[in-house]
Amino acid sequence: MPGLTRDLSFVGVLAGSEPWRFITSAFVHSPTSLLHIVFNMYILYAFGPTLEGALGRVRFLLVYLLSAVGGSIGVLLLSPLEPGWFVQVVGASGAIFGLLLLYVVLLVRQGQVPTALLVMIGINLALPFFVSGIAWEAHVGGAVTGAALGGLLLLTSAPGRDKEAVRRRAMFWPGLVGLAAVLLGLGVFRIVQVLGAGAFMLTG
């Protein structure tokens, strides 16, 4: 449905006036990049249940959505104004890379990173060099966001039910809000820097 894809895709010049695109772009995909969506969905199928089980459904969903936003922020920060900010960006790559890098951070703490996971990351990193139309900027943005979320999880994880452990675990939610605020701040700053404050009143 080209019209729906157009309305939900991320477009830099419309990011200020249509902010829902930061997230909705992760739920549509180009029909001409079937290989790309196959890799994304395979990764979600292979590693998603394990992560969801470890994080819980709510945290897993929030990580996915924030990583999607991080992917869109990556496009704003790393793409040139022309043509980058006028191109429709779609796909779950930012969110997928966020999950992958979060998983890597958690596994590094345990001293083991499966080879299959590294292979999946390598394949997705290499895809933009062989398949045209893939926004590597979204990969980077999602990956950095996921790694930051992984670090937050490590910092706020603590076993036991003593007062200090409970307090430390409770810090995850303020930390999550803080990270979301950082992403919001980066997005607003970059939009104003490139387009000016009037970008928040533009319409598509």
Tell me the catalytic residues: 93, 139
Q: Structure tokens of 141?
A: 């943005």
* Distance separating alpha carbons of residues 100 and 117, to the nearest angstrom: 8
Angle, vertex CA 64, rays to CA 168 and CA 57, nearest 5: 65
Residue 40 Rama label (left phi>0; alpha psi -120 to 50; beta): alpha
Query: What is the per-residue DSSP string for 18-53?
Result: -TTHHHHGGG---TT-HHHHHHHHHHHHHHHHHHHH
> How many CB atoms neighbour CB 24 within 10 A?
19
**Taking Cα atoms as reference points, which of 10, 125, 20, 105 lies closest to residue 55?**
105
Q: State whether residue 161 is helix, strand or coil.
A: coil
